[in-house]
Amino acid sequence: MALHRQDVLEGAAHLLRSSGPAAVTVAAATAGAGLTAGAFYKQFVSKDALLSEASNWAVDRSREDFDRLLKNTPEQNSTRDTLITAYLSDAHVDDLGSGCVISTLASDVTRDPESPMGDAVSVAITELVRLLTSADGDRERALTDAATIVGAVVIARAARGSDASDEILRAARHALVPDQAVGDGENKAMRTQGASERG
């Protein structure tokens, strides 16, 4: 049953980020996990409980992804530049279902202060700022970096399919890490590496 629970959380977290909380129905959450509706309610007391756990599950996976990214980063590259470059990559923009919960769920939490996903988004913001601050201890710059990269990803996603989407990402990368502005080839490499790591 523990395996089924993890399957439900993984599926719900992906659906939550890619399509929003309204798409996370009991039927959708159990479809890929081999659970009945009755078995679902033995695992989760309500849909809100599922949304809360799934969003926290997503934050944990993002933390693991960041840790793996930094572990594989050459020593000459800074933590800050590596995080910013990865966050502003085409791979991250294209993959809503596995991306950061801040850029996918913040608007839902803004509209609903009582959202069951609020705690997860708050934790994700704190974690992102902490990681960016750890590079040089400059918290004010880290806050600016976080606001810039999240905003750029949200706008780039909204403008997908237009030249503006790529221009926004390039502008943000150039503003924050001008010496490491990533080209399309490097972004494709990131996407390939991420897919192979997830197996």
Whether 162 maps to a domain, the answer reads yes
Task: Note the pLDDT tens digit of each residue in 57-96.
Answer: 999 999 999 989 888 877 756 889 999 999 999 999 999 9
Residue 65, both tokens: 């992804």
User: Of how many residues is the chain composed?
Assistant: 199
Question: In the prediction, which pLDDT does 37 show?
Answer: 76
Whether 6 maps to a domain, the answer reads no
Whether 14 maps to a domain, the answer reads no
Question: In the prediction, which pLDDT does 181 show?
Answer: 56
Q: Which helix (H) or strand (E) holds 198?
A: helix 184-198
Check if the beta carbon of residue 168 is closer than 8 Å to that of residue 154: no
Domain that holds residue 76: 59-198
pLDDT of 199 over the 70 cut: no
Q: Which helix (H) or strand (E) holds 133?
A: helix 118-133
Q: What is the CATH number of the domain that holds 110?
A: 1.10.357.10
- Residue 96's closest CA among 172, 167, 189, 16? 16
Check if the beta carbon of residue 64 is closer than 8 Å to that of residue 10: no
In degrees to the nearest 10, what's the CA dihedral of 187, 174, 129, 81? 60
Mean pLDDT value across the chain: 86
pLDDT level of residue 197 (50, 70, 90 thresholds): very low
- Identity of residue 189: A
Task: Note the pLDDT tens digit of each residue in 26-52.
Answer: 888 887 677 777 778 888 889 999 999
pLDDT level of residue 105 (50, 70, 90 thresholds): very high
Question: In the prediction, which pLDDT does 74 show?
Answer: 78
Question: In the prediction, which pLDDT does 27 show?
Answer: 86
Check if the beta carbon of residue 89 is closer than 8 Å to that of residue 6: no
Whether 160 maps to a domain, the answer reads yes
Whether 20 maps to a domain, the answer reads no
Question: In the prediction, which pLDDT does 186 show?
Answer: 45
pLDDT level of residue 174 (50, 70, 90 thresholds): very high
Residue whose entry in the numeric block shows the structure tokens 């949200």: 154
Domain total of the chain: 1
What percent of the chain has pLDDT above 90?
64
Burial 115-131 (b: 16+ CB within 10 A, else e): bbbbebbebbbebbbeb
Whether 180 maps to a domain, the answer reads yes
Question: In the prediction, which pLDDT does 49 show?
Answer: 94
Whether 93 maps to a domain, the answer reads yes
Whether 100 maps to a domain, the answer reads yes
For the chain, what is the radius of gyration of the CA atoms?
Answer: 17
Residue 102, both tokens: 């801040």
Instruction: Check the CA dihedral 137-140-141-147 and report its sign.
Output: positive
